[in-house]
């Protein structure tokens, strides 16, 4: 019926958003109450503050097959917990360098400030990241790594299963 729909790739990116309760989560709620529309690819994880977000979670998300990760909190100066977002900003500035070093395309990781009143901005940020990641295609680096490593996804390989059976 809609030829242009079938032409577009089947790839649906997986986007994970780490957001703070006070600003971005509330902003996303506002997008809902305003009945704005955005791609359904995003899964939201609520934190009290962006300061709580450990960089390990971002790695974990990529490892679990996320194609894009969004971290979003209160605007600088507006943190509900005085300065949590500043700690987060500093932490992620350093973390980006590390990610770049290990070979993750930084285009897949987005930081933004979305306040409780910015439902529209939430929609923009999510849509933009989803479309960017969709165009980039699936994130294979970590998935391949996971397969190579025995302690993770490789459990399902026939060789290993055989080995286990023999034990």
Partner 1 sequence: MSRIGVFICHCGENISRTVDVERVAAHAAALPGVAYATEYKYMCSDPGQTLLKKAIREQRLTHVVVAACSPRMHERTFRKAVEAAGLNPYLCEMANIREHCSWVHEDREQATVKACDIVGMMVERTKKNRVLPTITVPVTKRSLVIGGGIAGIQAALDIADSGHEVVLVEREPSIGGHMAQLSETFPTLDCSQCIMTPKMVDVANHPKITLYTYSEIELVEGYIGNFQVTVRKRARSVDERTCTGCGVCMTKCPQKKIPNKFDQYIGMRTAIYVPFPQAVPNTPVIDRENCTRFKTGKCGVCQKVCGPGAVDFEQQDTLIVEAVGAIVVATGFDLYSISEKPKGSPIKGYGEFGHGKIPDVIDGMTFERLASASGPTGGKIVRPSDGREPKQIVFIQCIGSRAREKGISYCSKVCCMYTAKHTMLYHHKVHDGQAYVFFMDARTPGKSYDEFWRRSIEEEEAVYIRGMVSRLYQKGDKIVVMGSDIAVGVQVEIEADMVVLATAVQPQQGADLLAQKLGISYDKYNFYSEAHAKLRPVECATAGIFLAGACQGPKDIPETVSQASAAAAKVMTLFSKERLEREPIVARVREVGCVGCFACKKVCAYGAVEEKEIRDRQGNLLRVVASVNPGVCAGCGTCQATCPSKCVELDGYTDEQIVAMIEAL
**What is the smallest separation between the CB atom of 9 and partner 1, expressed in angstroms?**
16
| Among the listed residues 8, 9, 37, 166, the single contact to partner 1 using CB under 8 A | 37
By CB under 8 A, which span of 20-28, 101-109, 128-136, 142-150 interacts with partner 1? 20-28
What is the token pair recorded at 55? Answer: 């960089």
User: Is there binding between residue 149 and partner 1 (CB under 8 A)?
Assistant: no
User: Is there binding between residue 67 and partner 1 (CB under 8 A)?
Assistant: no
HSE-CB at 35 with a 13 A cutoff on CA atoms is: 0
Number of neighbours of residue 140 by Cβ within 10 angstroms: 9
Taking the C-alpha atoms of residue 152 and residue 115, their distance in angstroms, rounded to an integer, is: 38
What is the token pair recorded at 152? Answer: 């993770």
| Residue closer to partner 1 (CB basis): 91 or 132 | 91
Q: How many residues lie near partner 1 (CB under 8 A)?
A: 53
User: Is there binding between residue 9 and partner 1 (CB under 8 A)?
Assistant: no
User: Is there binding between residue 145 and partner 1 (CB under 8 A)?
Assistant: no
What is the token pair recorded at 10? Answer: 């089947």
Q: Can you give the C-alpha Rg of the chain in angstroms?
A: 18
Taking the C-alpha atoms of residue 119 and residue 25, their distance in angstroms, rounded to an integer, is: 10
Helix (H) and strand (E) counts in the chain: 7, 4
**What is the smallest separation between the CB atom of 162 and partner 1, expressed in angstroms?**
26
User: Is there binding between residue 45 and partner 1 (CB under 8 A)?
Assistant: yes
3-state helix, strand, coil in the chain (%, to 5): 55, 15, 30
| Residue closer to partner 1 (CB basis): 81 or 136 | 81
| Residue closer to partner 1 (CB basis): 79 or 104 | 79
Strand 68-73 relative to strand 109-113: parallel, antiparallel, unpaired?
A: parallel
Enumerate binding residues for partner 1 (CB under 8 A). 14, 16, 21-23, 25-26, 28-29, 31-33, 35-38, 40, 43-49, 51-57, 60-61, 64-66, 74, 77-84, 87-88, 91, 115-118, 123
């Amino acid at each position: 019926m809609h030829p242009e729909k079938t032409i577009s790739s089947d790839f649906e990116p997986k986007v994970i958003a780490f957001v703070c309760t006070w600003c971005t989560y509330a902003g996303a709620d506002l997008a809902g109450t305003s009945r704005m529309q955005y791609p359904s690819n995003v899964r939201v994880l609520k934190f009290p503050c962006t300061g709580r977000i450990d960089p390990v979670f971002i790695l974990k998300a990529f490892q679990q097959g996320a194609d894009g990760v969004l971290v979003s909190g209160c605007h600088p100066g507006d943190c509900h917990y005085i300065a949590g977002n500043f700690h987060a900003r500093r932490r992620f500035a350093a973390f980006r360098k590390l990610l770049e070093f290990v070979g993750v395309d930084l285009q897949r990781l987005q930081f933004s400030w979305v306040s409780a009143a910015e439902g529209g901005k939430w929609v923009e940020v999510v849509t933009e990241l989803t479309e960017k990641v969709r165009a980039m295609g699936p994130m294979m680096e970590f998935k391949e790594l996971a397969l190579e490593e025995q302690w993770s996804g490789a459990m399902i390989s026939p060789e290993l299963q055989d080995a286990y059976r023999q034990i």
